[in-house]
Amino acid sequence: MVIRPVRPDEYETAGALVASAYRELLQDALDDGYADHIRNVRWRAERSDVYVAASDERLLGCVTYVADISSPLAEGLLAGEAEIRMLAVDPDSQGLGVGRALAAHCIELARQQGAVAVFLHSTAEMQIARHIYQSLGFVRTPQRDDEPDPGVLLLGFRLEF
């Protein structure tokens, strides 16, 4: 498996992968508007860094790395922090270490660029992601939780270097 930047000819496939991972988790709670948003890898890749995990050209997972607060994708970031967003692994390839490897890749990028910390939002449903983040050293930052829409609670997690 390699982790590398997504190519433009993979935007559709990577987007479908992210949507299918979120659909599997959220099922009927994933509304069409949000599904379209998370499928839109092109939009994210043109404004931040999108990485894929691939094996023999088959995409296994995808993650968006936000380098700093200046990105339009920065969500609740503070100066000096980088961010992980939209981590997703193809449901057929889950449980093999792909998600952990993608998250670790982003942490390494942040470390190399001299970030003071990595921040991210997750949700209560995302138990597996939470396990990965906490085992990589992220701690809950409840003071940075957010509720962008009524009933949608985003939980803050932060890894300080």
Over the window 58 to 77, marking each residue x when it contacts ligand COA by CB under 6 A and - when it does not, the resulting string is --------------------
Residue with smaller CB distance to ligand COA, 33 or 95:
95
Site string for ligand COA, 15-54 (x = CB under 6 A): ------xx--x-----------------------------
Q: Is 95 in the site for ligand COA (CB under 6 A)?
A: yes
The pair of three-digit structure tokens given for residue 135, joined into one six-digit string: 């085992």
Closest CA to 85 of 94, 75, 93, 95: 75
Measure Cα distances from 134 to 9, 40, 140, 159 in Å.
Answer: 34, 28, 8, 9
DSSP character string of 107-161:
HHHHHHHT-SEEEEEE-TT-HHHHHHHHHTT-EE-GGG-EEEETTEEEEEEEEE-
**Binding flags for ligand COA, 108-137, as an x/- string (CB under 6 A):** --------------x---xxxx-xx--x--
Residues that bind ligand COA (CB under 6 A): 21-22, 25, 87-89, 94-100, 122, 126-129, 131-132, 135
